[in-house]
Every structure is written in structure tokens, then in C-alpha cells.
Structure 1
Amino acid sequence: MKKKTFSLSKTIVVTLSRSLIWFIASFALIACTNTSKTSDNYAFASTINSALIFAEKQSLLMAEKYKDQEGKLPQTYANGNDVSSDSRWWCSGFFPGSLWYIYENSLNPDVLKYAQLYTDRIEREKYTTDNHDVGFMIYCSFGNGYRLTKNRHYEEVMLTAAKSLSTRYRPKVGLIRSWDHNTEQWQYPVIIDNIMNLELLLWAAEYSGDTSFKAIALSHADKTMQHHFRPDYSSYHVVSYDTITGIPHLRQTHQGFSDESSWSRGQAWGLYGYTYLYRETKNERYLQQAVEIANYLINHPNMPEDYIPYWDYNSPDIPDTYRDVSAAAIMASALVELSEYAEKDRAQKYRQVVETQIKTLASSTYTANLGENGCFILKHSVGAYPLKSEVDVPLTYADYYYLEALTRLKKRI
């Protein structure tokens, strides 16, 4: 036990030293790049760098904790207990993806070692054909790893995963099927989360030259735009399609307050999805969709002043109900990118919203103390409130999109 404690302490000391150097260098670079920046900009840059430094320390503790637990990955922390999963859980790719973002910012070889270790634990999911989450699993882990290292083996994993995901597409319906359960109620269910998995297919089309991947992705994106969204640009969670006609027979919000309510994480998935779809295709209809979703969220009467959404925008218990940090993190990351594409006034508003979100998330209200919170970075996310699943707990995808937002901001400041 003493030997293990010494080893962990040594890791923290080394990380602290490396992080201090990283912070000083980063801040000096920011200061030298543009002396006309205001003190507020300097302060925000400092917030970003401090958040990344803390994330590295906290995530190394997490990585140490699970390194000898073969095949295990962090899932959440509830009632004082660690909750882990194997690669089959839909969130399995987020922790290795978080490590890749941390490595991108610090170039710490210890982080690289763990990013590779935990990414390897996901590889078997490249053969997953029984759900749509293979995109989350593989692209967040292997996708980021390939982006940073150009490891050729990672290419093969992603291409195989894209082929697996494509098996869930049925031309008659024009969408990728999400779930295979609850067949008494759903014929061909598609959830808004599925929009996030198309990025893997678009990568595969570009890499392989096989245009069928892109055709599937764009068909899914267009049909989702047509059938998932209400006139005000809020979205349903689940749309089930008739397998014969390809027309929706049921629209629901399975994880929200009611079928007609706006479940906050679902709205964030849509915003993020159509933002990257515009990036990859330059099709104006996707940009317009992302802008309209952003306007709906930012101007929603139940959006708090700090832009950390309640778990559902239509919860009757507002303001005395839970916030969902995961929805805020996804929204922040999407808005950072969308601000690059939107016209000037909108872009400025998006940046103001993101700055408010990041400052709030980086505060003690939502950021854990070192070594606490099961070694997750952020607190207070909500998985599925109506199902009483993962309510007011840390979640890997909240940390992942928070780190992605910080990384994107750091490159733009």
C-alpha cells in the first residue's frame, strides 16, 4: 500500500510541475500574441488554462485507479461508489477521448500512455452492429487518437466501425436504427442522439472514397431534420418509423418530462450534430438548422442566466429541479464551432454564452475538488431523470465535451 501511494504521489508531483510549465508558457504566448486584448480576455484565457491543468491532474488519478482493472472504464460515481463499465456501455469511448484532449493540450507522455491504454479497451466495439452507439464509442476514442497520432491501425478500426454502423441503415426508412428493444411499442426507433454518430460515416467516406457512407449520413441527417423537429426547432427524443411506409408512427421524449417537452441534452445533440454537418458538407441547410436550434436554446424563457440548462426545459419543477451539466458542455462545444460559421452578431452572442458557461462550469459549483467526485472533473449531470438513472452525478460525456470546448476555445483565443 505504501509503495502504491508513493507512486501516485510522484505522478501528481510530476504532473503539477509539467502543468505549471504548460500554464506559464501558454499564458505568456497569449500575452505576447496580442497586447491589445482586454483584461477580461486575459482572465478568460487563464480560466481555460487552469481548467485544463486541473483536468489533467484529475484524469490522471482516474486513469491510475482503473489501469489494472482489465477492460474496465469509468461510467459514473454515485452514493460514494465508483461505477464502471466494459466497452459495451454506450459511454465507453468518452474517457479515452478525454485523455486524448488532455494530451493534445499538455503533450504529457503519461497522458499519452493512458490514452492509448484505454483506447485499446474499446477496439472490440468496431464489430458492434446491434446498436448505433458504435459512433460514440469509436470516433471519440480512436478518432481523436488518429487525429493526434496518425496511427494507421486506428484507421482500420474506424473504417470497420463505420461498416458496422452502416448495417443499421435501411433504405426504405432512410435512417440508421437506434435501438432493437421494446419492439411492442417501437417499430424502427431513431433517437436524436444518433445524429452524433454520422461524423464517423463522413470520415469513412472521405478516407475510403466510398460515397455510400456519406449517402447514409446525409439521408439520416435530412430525415431527422424533417421528422424530429417541431416548428420552434425543439426536438423529440424518439421517433419510431413504420417499417413498410418509412413514415413516423410515434413521436416521444423518452428521457424528458413529457413527449412534447424539450429534453435538454437532446436539444444539445441536435445543435452539435448540425453544426459539424455544416463543417463537413458546407450545406447551408445544416447551418440554418444549427442556428435556429441555437436561437431556441439561448432565448428559451427557462434557460438560466448562467446557461447551464435544467434537465428538461419544460420541467414543471423549475427552478427547483436538477441542472444537466452534460447538456451545457455539449452546447458549449457546439457553440464554439458555430460561432466560426454564423454571421457576426450571432457569433458574438454565441461566444458570450460560451464564456458564461465555461466560467460557471469551471467554478467550484460544478468542478470537483482534486481526488473527489470519483475523480470525474464535473459534477451535477443528469442521465435519464424519468427512469431514475444517473441523476445529479458526474458523467463521462460531460467531461468529454467540456474538454472539447476548452480545447476549441484555447485554439481561438
Structure 2
Amino acid sequence: MKNYLVCLAALISILSCKVSSPPSMSDIIDKSLDRAVEQSTLMYAVIDSIPEALPRSINPNGSLETSDSYFWTSGFYPGTLWYLYEYTKDDRFKEMAVKMSDRVEIQKFNTDNHDVGFMINCSFGNKLRLTEDSSCVDIIATTAKSLATRYRPTVGCTRSWSHPATSHWQFPVIIDNMMNLELLLKASKLTGNQQFHDIAISHANKTMANHFREDFSSYHVIDYDTLSGKAIDKRTWQGYSDNSAWSRGQSWALYGYTMMYRETKDKRYLEQANHIASFLINHPNLPDDKIPYWDFDDPKIPNTLRDASAAAIMASALIELSAFADAEQGKNYMAVAEKQLRTLSSDEYLAKKGENGNFILKHSVGFLPQNSEVDVPLTYADYYFIEALMRYKALKP
């Protein structure tokens, strides 16, 4: 009888440990993707009835905020649908993704916005990847021609902004612009046009030379002299201060140079990505749950806002970078990304079905200095979160 009781106690102890053990990453990934399927289906039911509209965020009163295709975030929801089609293999998602992508196609002619890479690569780039539809090649090539008009050889970069609010700069280039180089490199490979490739390389190299501080944090905006091509000012637009490390900007940089290494195999870009990753994951102000504050140098830390979008972009980049880095670095990168995905998949960040304006993630920060899109869902946070989940699923089946 005594032995029986001892065995029973041991069994209860073992079962208690199993009950309290955290869910596996596989379970977390599938749960979050399934929730994304639910939310994106509900979003589609709303957005499909609004001609030419695409989801952007929610308004202060909780209502859906949309944009037309000319706004820089227009390609993210179609891209999310393409990833969910890849996950579900459900032709309904393919039909939804096609219809939403078609709303963005007109942007292939847009020469007034450096973000056409976001718009077209996230939508038609994913469509081409998953369907091999040859019509996408012309769309991507036409977009690259439009983006190339913003390149100035004297500077060696494509110009970011042209709108009146930034007219006090001669030739502003923002770190976000690294994300649009993938479209140029893709167009070069698809068409054989070397100019697209050369523009992307020049922009990446000039950014590497001027955007980064000694600790490999990045300025947000570099203003270049249009005649000499020299960097004449280093500023911020969306961060806390000119010398602070705006968290989403750091994530754009990490993602951008990881992508540049993938596309070119130039080890300078891998080294740059590793340096940026080291800055981020070793920063004393990165919280234990690995969701960055909106700016690493906000003096209100820890009593300030987190940015889920910065975390999602960072996680997606770290997962890809883990496959390029050496074994020890790769293991470290993946551990951080896993922690980020676990946190983003928790009730604190992952929206319940039908809530959060039918967006997937809560608690992103768009433009805090102008009190715009503060502590709200953002369509690009959803896109990079789903991309990170799918990348993790591919590397860790």
C-alpha cells in the first residue's frame, strides 16, 4: 500500500508538471495562424464592401481606418492574405488575395513614393512566389522603373519623401527605404535589367556608410546635398530625438541588410546585419519579453509604450538571419525570435476573434511624436507577424 501511494504521488507530480509546462512552439504557431485566418476572413467581409479601400488601423473611436492604394501600407493586407493562402491551401484565400492585390496594382506607375516596394512586393511579389503567374513579372518590372526615377547618381540613393512637410530637406533618405530594395533586386533577376540591381547596391552601401552610429544603431533620416552627394544632416521624424534609436527603424535596418545578404551573398551585408542584431538583442532597454519600447531611448522607459510592429519585423528578420549566421549566433537569434513570437501570440498582443477591428495584433505605435496611430493595431504589424510565423514554420517544421 505504501509503494502504491508513493507511485501515485509521483504520477500526480509528473502530470502536474505536464499541465504547467508551456505550450510548444508548434502549437503557438498554429494557434496564431488559425487566429489570423479568422481575423483576416472577418476583415475581408468588411473591406470587400468598401470600393478601393484597404485596411490601415483603427480610429480613436474603435472604427476601422482604411486607406486607398496610394498610402504606403496598402500592400500589406493583400500580402497577409497570400501568406494565409500558403498556410491554408484554401482557394478562398487565393481569391481574396487576388482581389485585394488588384486594388494595389495601379501603384506600379507611382513615381512619387519610395514605398512602392512595400506596396507591390508584398502583394504581387508574394503572388508570383506562390502562383508563378507571369503577369506579375511586368507589374514588378514596371514598379521598379517607377522607383528608379527617384534615384540620383550624385547621391547614390533613391529619394524617400517628396511631400511638403519634409520640404526643408534637400534629399531625405530614411532607413525604412532599405525595405524597398528587394523589389529592385527581384525585378533585376526577373528582367535582366542590371540598372535595378546597381541602384539597390548603391543605396544599401551609401546607407551603410552614413546611417549608422558606432554602436550600429541607425539614424532615421539622412539629408543629402543634391550637388555634392554628401550627408549634411542626420535627423529623426518618427523617433524620440535625432540621436535616439527609434525601434521600428532599427528593425527595418536589420531586415533590410539580412535581405541584402540573401539576395547578393555579399558578406558585408551579413556582417552589418549581425552588428545590428547584436545592438538590438543586447540592448539594456530591450524588455525580457523581447517586445521593444517604441524608442530605445525614451527617458520614460519603462513607463512608455511598446511597439508590436517593431517586434514582428525584428522576429521575421532574426529567423531568416539565423539560417545565415554561424551556429552559436543562429541559436541566439532564434531564441530571441521564439520569445517574441510567444509574447506576440499571448492574450496581451494577439486579438480575440472579432475584436481589435479584425486586425491580428494589438499594441503597435505608428507615429508617437505626432500622436498618430498610438497603441493601435497596424496592418504592417500583422503582415510581418504572419511572415515570421511562416518563416519559423518553414525552418522548424
Per the alignment, residue 43 of structure 1 pairs with 24
Residue from 230, 239, 251 that aligns with 2:234: 251
Q: How big is the shift at 1:88?
A: 0.6
Q: How big is the shift at 1:80?
A: 1.3
Residue from 348, 352, 361 that aligns with 1:369: 352
Rounded Cα–Cα distance in structure 2 between residues aligned with 1:42 and 1:283:
38
Per the alignment, residue 103 of structure 2 pairs with 121
Query: Does residue 336 of structure 2 align to residue 329 of structure 1?
Result: no
Equivalent positions of 1:232-251 (< 5 A) are 232-251=215-234
Rounded Cα–Cα distance in structure 2 between residues aligned with 1:333 and 1:40:
26
Rounded Cα–Cα distance in structure 2 between residues aligned with 1:372 and 1:53:
15
Residues matched between the structures, number = 375
**2:151 is aligned with what amino acid?**
Y
Q: How big is the shift at 1:185?
A: 1.9
Per the alignment, residue 286 of structure 1 pairs with 269
Rounded Cα–Cα distance in structure 1 between residues aligned with 2:47 and 2:266:
43
Residue from 381, 393, 402 that aligns with 2:376: 393
**1:105 is aligned with what amino acid?**
Y
Rounded Cα–Cα distance in structure 1 between residues aligned with 2:197 and 2:161:
22
| Alpha-carbon spacing, 1:392–1:45, altered in 2? closer, same or farther (3 Å) | same
Rounded Cα–Cα distance in structure 2 between residues aligned with 1:97 and 1:110:
15
Residue from 333, 337, 340 that aligns with 2:323: 340
Q: How big is the shift at 1:175?
A: 0.2
Per the alignment, residue 214 of structure 1 pairs with 197
Greater mean deviation of Cα atoms: 71-80 or 393-402: 71-80
Q: How big is the shift at 1:40?
A: 8.1
Query: Does residue 50 of structure 2 align to residue 59 of structure 1?
Result: no
Q: How big is the shift at 1:155?
A: 1.3
Instruction: Give CA deviations for 1:243-302 in whole Å, capped at 9, x if unaligned.
Output: 011001111011111000000000000000000100111000000000000000000010
Q: How big is the shift at 1:161?
A: 0.3
> Percent identity of the aligned residues?
55
Rounded Cα–Cα distance in structure 1 between residues aligned with 2:67 and 2:188:
31
Equivalent positions of 1:85-164 (< 5 A) are 85-164=67-146
| Alpha-carbon spacing, 1:344–1:40, altered in 2? closer, same or farther (3 Å) | farther
Greater mean deviation of Cα atoms: 280-289 or 105-114: 105-114
Rounded Cα–Cα distance in structure 1 between residues aligned with 2:236 and 2:269:
23
Rounded Cα–Cα distance in structure 2 between residues aligned with 1:135 and 1:353:
28
Q: How big is the shift at 1:49?
A: 0.9
| Alpha-carbon spacing, 1:42–1:184, altered in 2? closer, same or farther (3 Å) | closer
Rounded Cα–Cα distance in structure 2 between residues aligned with 1:159 and 1:213:
9
- Partner of 1:340, secondary structure, is helix
Per the alignment, residue 13 of structure 2 pairs with none
What is the TM-score when the length of structure 2 is the normalising length?
A: 0.93
Rounded Cα–Cα distance in structure 2 between residues aligned with 1:388 and 1:45:
37
Rounded Cα–Cα distance in structure 2 between residues aligned with 1:178 and 1:216:
14
- Partner of 1:251, secondary structure, is strand
**1:248 is aligned with what amino acid?**
A
- Partner of 1:96, secondary structure, is helix
- Partner of 1:136, secondary structure, is helix
Query: Does residue 365 of structure 2 align to residue 382 of structure 1?
Result: yes
- Partner of 2:179, secondary structure, is helix
**1:273 is aligned with what amino acid?**
G
What is the TM-score when the length of structure 1 is the normalising length?
A: 0.89
Rounded Cα–Cα distance in structure 2 between residues aligned with 1:183 and 1:321:
27
Rounded Cα–Cα distance in structure 2 between residues aligned with 1:184 and 1:68:
37
- Partner of 1:339, secondary structure, is helix
Per the alignment, residue 304 of structure 1 pairs with 287
| Alpha-carbon spacing, 1:192–1:284, altered in 2? closer, same or farther (3 Å) | same
Query: Does residue 137 of structure 2 align to residue 166 of structure 1?
Result: no
Q: How big is the shift at 1:121?
A: 0.2
Rounded Cα–Cα distance in structure 2 between residues aligned with 1:189 and 1:84:
27
Query: Does residue 302 of structure 2 align to residue 314 of structure 1?
Result: no
Rounded Cα–Cα distance in structure 2 between residues aligned with 1:254 and 1:57:
35
Instruction: Give CA deviations for 1:43-66 in whole Å, capped at 9, x if unaligned.
Output: 111110111111111100001111
Instruction: Give CA deviations for 1:78-102 in whole Å, capped at 9, x if unaligned.
Output: 3211100110110000000000001
**2:230 is aligned with what amino acid?**
I
Instruction: Give CA deviations for 1:132-156 in whole Å, capped at 9, x if unaligned.
Output: 0100000000100110011111111
**2:198 is aligned with what amino acid?**
A
Rounded Cα–Cα distance in structure 1 between residues aligned with 2:389 and 2:32:
8
- Partner of 1:390, secondary structure, is strand
Per the alignment, residue 3 of structure 1 pairs with none
Q: How big is the shift at 1:111?
A: 1.0
- Point out the structure with max Rg over C-alpha: 2
| Alpha-carbon spacing, 1:41–1:278, altered in 2? closer, same or farther (3 Å) | farther
Q: How big is the shift at 1:202?
A: 0.3
**2:50 is aligned with what amino acid?**
Q
Q: Which runs of 4 or more aligned residues in structure 1 lie more than 6 Å from their structure 2 counterparts after TM superposition? A: 39-42
Q: How big is the shift at 1:183?
A: 5.5
Instruction: Give CA deviations for 1:212-268 in whole Å, capped at 9, x if unaligned.
Output: 110000000000000000010000000010001100111101111100000000000
